[in-house]
């Protein structure tokens, strides 16, 4: 593959996985102000838009955080750091609540069909520790 073809592929990847402008306009006000580096000596902070694009890319594809380095969207460390900051600030919870409320207003949520399933206990027939013991 030629260098030009690789460059075009990288540009296409970044464009195709960007958050639509309409959605970004809804997300941006939910974000807390960025924290400056305490020493002020590092590279400029990655834009919030690029970090959110990378986070959504990871969530949509299921890729590992370190795979973000190959996308050209944003570095994995910046995206993961921002994900942690925004999770602690409740950004994703607020976004989910807003989306849920808007869907309910547009289409209505039939809560009578709501169900949950899960188990947080040991499997009753799980038995004791199985498999090979570690050689360490």
Average pLDDT of the chain to the nearest whole number: 83
pTM for this entry: 0.69
* Domain presence at residue 98: yes
Helix runs in the chain, H state only = 3-16, 21-27, 48-61, 76-88, 91-106
Mean pLDDT, range 120-127, rounded to an integer:
67
Q: Please classify residue 86 by burial: count the beta carbons closer than 10 Å to its beta carbon, then call 0-12 exposed, 13-18 middle and 19+ buried.
A: buried
Quickly tell me which residue has 């409320």 as its tokens.
101
Between CA 136 and CA 134 the distance in angstroms is 5
* Domain presence at residue 50: yes
Domain of 72, in residue numbers: 3-22+46-108
DSSP conformational letter for 32: P
* Domain presence at residue 36: no
pLDDT in tens, 91-107: 999 999 999 999 999 99
In this structure, are residues 65 and 40 in contact, taking their beta carbons and an 8 Å threshold? no
């Amino acid at each position: 593959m030629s260098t030009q073809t690789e460059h075009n592929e990288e540009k296409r990847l970044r464009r195709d996985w960007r958050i639509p402008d309409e959605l970004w306009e809804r997300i941006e006000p939910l974000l807390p102000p960025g924290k400056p580096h305490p020493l002020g000596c590092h590279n400029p902070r990655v834009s919030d838009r690029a970090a959110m694009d990378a986070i959504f890319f990871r969530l949509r594809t299921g890729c590992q955080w370190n795979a973000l380095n190959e996308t050209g969207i944003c570095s994995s460390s910046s995206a993961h750091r921002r994900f942690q900051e925004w999770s602690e600030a409740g950004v994703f919870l607020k976004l989910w609540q807003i989306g849920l409320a808007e869907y309910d207003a547009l289409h209505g949520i039939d809560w009578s069909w709501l169900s949950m399933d899960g188990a947080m206990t040991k499997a009753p027939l799980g038995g004791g520790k199985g498999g090979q013991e570690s050689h360490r």
